[in-house]
Chains A and B, each alone.
Chain A
């Protein structure tokens, strides 16, 4: 069996950034396995700008951001295999993969980094009443058709869900000549970035219908229209608010799910809230030597943060391979519900730890408080927090050194 120090599953922004960081930290025996025909992952179809402000100090498009990292991979001659599908990862870090040139093959790795990204929540998961005609796409599928294949999926569009991909596609379809009649959002707030509401909807006069959902799909062969309705505070549709909108295309932008089938075969423990692995500050999973980073770990708002997280995983994988660790500890991080989750979920070494977290609702004038029992070890005030925007704080070892457990809470005035 082929022996490789570090196998990275996925050649998107997380995989490439992890590979570069690992290489620069001293491990040269690396292999990236990518199932698509090129490196870059989903960035290749995200042709809009807005990437890279944190990493590169300039505004790049998705393909340009991917190219920056691809160049770094190429400059270092880091090996990668394209059109290669990983079938299985064992807890002993044997990676089974396949491609059309080598058939099925196995690699014994010393460490594995999971960087498989995420996929879109599908229509099946939504249970909308009515028929099942053509013309219903996930926003990402429509994005692929328009931006990579040069093919418009429809002319009259309704978008369900106000995640960033849906907002970006509202603008993209409009620029290409389609009429976007509405973006319906079940929640009373958008899950997308404020700037995207502004530049993708407001710029084109596209209405954002908050607290609205699609309750029925119409049409036999092709979609002919949708019925939308306002929802009450329990998110149940209000019958008297039903409204028919004729359209030939419905795009769904209703959330992303980390793609963790391989993590499960490896015996990695998953977090029920993030649907990603439970990790420590090094992004190491509960299986020693298996790390996770990027959208497979938790869904990020910005690729810049994916790259940053992947660097942590890359460097930590090298430290693991070389047997280097800081002083050990074991502190679980818990949340109060208003804070939905933290990444990492455990602190296992005494060093500076940046904890990322997301909140459950829009809250104003809050205090973020981290405590060990009754002892508050950290607190910070914020004017506004929202589910669509990931927050982070950095803790020093002298703050948490003797802690049994750290609870993350949000105090709302």
Chain B
């Protein structure tokens, strides 16, 4: 089986062609960097995504956040549910861990802005 993908690793958006055999990646073409190759492999075996969102602070404002590494794509909405159920105390600073190990994915939810 052949899968055509658009690489999302960088703004270049390379068109990837992945040849699959029995669910395993046999060959990848179209990538222009090692990260693209990694993406093609992950995407066909187990798609991963970074989630960015906001978390409510006790004063009612919102703090921008992200997962500090990619999480399995199918856990995005479960993570969003957890993120939206969370209320945090200010101040926070860039990179501060707000929720460790989101749903056992190994990714932490971290603040991406300073807020007092």
Q: Contacts A61-B64, A194-B13 hold; do A175 and B53 have CB atoms under 8 A apart? A: yes
Q: How far is the CA of A48 from the CA of B52 in the complex (A)?
A: 5
A195-B13, A302-B11 known, 11 other contacts, Cβ within 8 Å: A47-B53, A47-B64, A50-B11, A63-B94, A64-B113, A67-B94, A175-B80, A193-B13, A194-B6, A195-B6, A195-B7
Stretch binding the partner chain, chosen from B20-28, B54-62, B96-104: B54-62
Chain B residues with a Cβ closer than 8 Å to the other chain, count = 32
Closest to B114 in A: A67
Q: Are A47 and B54 in contact (CB under 8 A)?
A: yes
By a beta-carbon cutoff of 8 Å, the part of chain A in contact with chain B is: 44, 47-50, 53, 59, 61-64, 67, 146-150, 175-176, 193-195, 197-199, 202-203, 301-302
In the complex, what residues of B have CB within 8 A of residue A49's CB? 50, 52, 66
In the complex, what residues of B have CB within 8 A of residue A150's CB? 54, 56, 60-62
**B39: min CB distance to chain A, Å:** 10
**A216: min CB distance to chain B, Å:** 33
**A385: min CB distance to chain B, Å:** 13
- Please name 7 pairs of A and B residues whose Cβ atoms are closer than 8 Å in the assembled complex, sorted by A: A47-B64, A47-B66, A50-B11, A150-B56, A175-B53, A176-B84, A195-B9
Is B45 interfacial (CB-CB < 8 Å)?
A: no
**A351: min CB distance to chain B, Å:** 28
**A59: min CB distance to chain B, Å:** 7
**A41: min CB distance to chain B, Å:** 13
Q: How far is the CA of A146 from the CA of B13 in the complex (A)?
A: 27
Q: Are A61 and B49 in contact (CB under 8 A)?
A: no
In the complex, what residues of A have CB within 8 A of residue B13's CB? 193-195, 198
Q: Are B113 and A44 in contact (CB under 8 A)?
A: yes
- Among candidates A62, A146, A176, A203, residue contacting B80 with C-beta atoms closer than 8 Å: A176
Closest to A53 in B: B10
Q: Are A198 and B8 in contact (CB under 8 A)?
A: yes
**B43: min CB distance to chain A, Å:** 10
**A104: min CB distance to chain B, Å:** 30
Closest to B53 in A: A175
The 5 closest A-B pairs by CB, nearest first: A194-B13, A150-B62, A63-B113, A47-B64, A198-B6
Interface centre among B12, B66, B113 (most CB of A within 10 A): B113
In the complex, what residues of B have CB within 8 A of residue A146's CB? 54
- Among candidates B5, B62, B113, residue contacting A67 with C-beta atoms closer than 8 Å: B113
**A46: min CB distance to chain B, Å:** 9
Interface centre among B15, B52, B66 (most CB of A within 10 A): B52
- Chain B stretch 59-96: residues in CB contact (< 8 A) with chain A: 60-62, 64-66, 73, 76-77, 80, 84, 94
**A204: min CB distance to chain B, Å:** 9
Q: Contacts A61-B112, A147-B54, A150-B62 hold; do A175 and B11 have CB atoms under 8 A apart? A: no
